[in-house]
């Protein structure tokens, strides 16, 4: 399923898959006809038991793997995966803490897994998600996130910061996520939320630094990053 012009959701049937926690990832390996192999890690957008898993992949310009996954892979193709991997950047449904999710670009993928797991578990802990995207058309899983945000009650809230262009009559500043944006769109320090930040390296490091400056406990901040600095 197409998520944006450059991103796609891919569902894989993996016999023997043991299930995965919300926030885990897998390694995916492609092998060319000449034997050349490329391995990349991808966050899993789904969580829980079952042998069907979902990935969210954004095309990386000049990438070796993502262009194939976004533009070329077809139903029936076979892919080699290893996982689930990672046990730190995960949300556990028995954790009663309020949760703040912050994702930049395809960093939304493991966070949507957490939001889905939270909904499936019927958890009452408060969830708030901040998404940073270039434009409204670049928000991955936008319809699902909007539907979660519209669900009665206050268990889930969505905030978006647009870095290049917002919707017509958008009332907030356009630009990168800075301290002011975080203070406006995230749970207060007094709530002592568990915070998960995922995205490009520079985005994650900047956001984490701002969160600490605001007063959040560094030990409550978990980060996952990708790409160059």
220 and 115 housed in the same domain = yes
Establish if 200 belongs to a structural domain.
yes
Kindly compute the dihedral angle of the four CA atoms of residues 138, 182, 222, 152, in this order, to the nearest 10 degrees: -70
In this prediction, residue 167 carries a pLDDT of 95
Q: Which of 85, 110, 138 is the last residue of a domain?
A: 85
Query: What is this structure's pTM?
Result: 0.95
CATH for 142: 3.40.50.80
- Please indicate, yes or no, whether residues 157 and 71 belong to a single structural domain of this protein: no
Q: Residue 193: its pLDDT value, please?
A: 98
Number of structural domains (the chain) is: 2
Domain end marker among 33, 62, 85: 85
In a domain, 90, yes or no: no
* Residue 38 belongs to domain spanning: 2-85
The pLDDT assigned to 32 comes to: 85
Centre a 10 Å sphere on the Cβ of residue 10 and count the other Cβ atoms it contains.
18
Alpha carbon 7 to its chain's center: 13
Local mean pLDDT, 10-residue blocks, the chain (229 residues)? 95 97 96 91 97 96 92 93 96 96 97 97 94 97 96 89 96 96 97 97 97 98 77
136 and 222 together in one domain: yes
Query: Residue 143 contacts by C-beta under 8 Å, 6 or more apart in sequence?
Result: none
Which CATH number fits the domain that encloses residue 47? 2.40.30.10
H or E element: which one contains 209?
A: helix 201-214
Asked if residue 122 and residue 80 are part of one domain, the reply reads: no
Residues 219 and 127 in one domain: yes
Q: Position of tokens 């995205």?
A: 199
CA dist., res. 49 & res. 62, Å (int) = 35
Indicate whether 93 belongs to any domain.
no
- What is the C-alpha radius of gyration for the chain, rounded to an integer number of angstroms? 17
Residues 118 and 218 occupy one common structural domain = yes
**Domain end residue (candidates: 58, 85, 112):** 85
Do 103 and 79 sit in the same domain of this protein? Answer: no
Classify residue 140: in a domain, yes or no.
yes
pLDDT at 227: 60
Tell whether 92 is covered by a domain.
no
Q: Is the peptide bond before 75 cis (omega within 30 degrees of 0)?
A: no
DSSP secondary structure letters along 12-61: EE-TT---B-BT-EEEEEEE-TTS-EEEEEEEBS--BSSSEEEEEEEPPT
Gap between the Cα atoms of 163 and 170, Å rounded: 12
Res 102: pLDDT? 98
Q: Are residues 80 and 108 in the same domain?
A: no
Residues 106 and 185 in one domain: yes
């Amino acid at each position: 399923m197409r998520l944006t012009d450059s991103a796609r959701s891919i569902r894989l049937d993996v016999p023997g898959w043991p299930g995965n926690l919300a926030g885990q990832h897998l390694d995916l390996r492609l092998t060319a006809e000449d034997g050349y192999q490329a391995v990349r890690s991808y966050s899993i957008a789904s969580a829980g038991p079952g042998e069907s898993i979902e990935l969210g992949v954004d095309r990386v310009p000049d990438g070796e793997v993502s262009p194939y996954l976004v533009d070329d892979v077809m139903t029936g193709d076979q892919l080699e995966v290893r996982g689930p991997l990672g046990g730190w950047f995960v949300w556990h449904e028995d954790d009663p803490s309020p949760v703040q999710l912050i994702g930049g670009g395809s960093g939304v993928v493991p966070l949507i897994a957490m939001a889905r797991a939270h909904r499936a578990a019927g958890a009452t802990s408060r969830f708030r998600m901040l998404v940073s995207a270039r434009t409204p058309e670049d928000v991955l899983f936008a319809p699902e996130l909007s539907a979660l945000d519209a669900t009665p009650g206050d268990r889930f809230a969505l905030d978006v910061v647009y870095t290049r262009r917002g919707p017509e009559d958008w009332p907030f500043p356009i630009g990168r996520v800075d301290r002011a944006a975080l203070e406006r769109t995230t749970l207060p320090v007094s709530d002592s939320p568990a915070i998960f930040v995922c995205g490009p390296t520079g985005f994650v490091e900047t956001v984490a630094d701002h969160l600490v400056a605001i007063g959040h406990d560094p030990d409550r901040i978990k980060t996952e990053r990708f790409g160059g600095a």
